[in-house]
A and B are shown apart, each in its own frame.
Chain A
Amino acid sequence: AQRVTQPEKLLSVFKGAPVELKCNYSYSGSPELFWYVQYSRQRLQLLLRHISRESIKGFTADLNKGETSFHLKKPFAQEEDSAMYYCALKTGGGNKLTFGTGTQLKVEL
């Protein structure tokens, strides 16, 4: 069965410091990975997906199949990055998303 693990419930960094939110997955097929973000009092929204190989709001994430990881990174954290981040896995051929438990990122001044 597929599973997404986000080991950190809370990550606190200072403004300007690098950020890495960890995500590991377990899936026997070809995975499709996403990062979703939920800002305070707002709905869940897509941040980025691995197949697009894009950088959104300075965030990047590389799929590492050898380590089954899809860590989210940003070189310099901004205060507005404070939010809840969820890693999600879409199984091949299906439309269902399996979410990790989320990591609360807090950027302090």
Chain B
Amino acid sequence: DAGVIQSPRHEVTEMGQEVTLRCKPISGHNSLFWYRQTMMRGLELLIYFNNNVPIDDSGMPEDRFSAKMPNASFSTLKIQPSEPRDSAVYFCASIAGYTGELFFGEGSRLTVL
């Protein structure tokens, strides 16, 4: 079975540009999470969805960040406009019910110059 699929794996962009990260969760998983990982702050939960509905977006740093989940098999995380401090690895993860076992994608490494 395919795991969580994220794209792009790497993105380098200039400050002010719009960035869109994409995620396809594991089929049948009803919850999806977006995390950001940096050296300084570790893994931070940005937002999570349950049955395509945003449940908790308290971790979204600013209005420049937005996330959508139009259907059970696709989610996007958008940053507009991007800033150098947004440089990080962004992970998407999914889970079926509550088992504690989050399945992570391989991450999208974002560099904003």
A in complex with B: no
**Measuring CB to CB, which residues of chain A are less than 8 angstroms from any residue of chain B?**
none
Taking Cβ atoms with an 8 Å cutoff, the residues of B that contact A are none
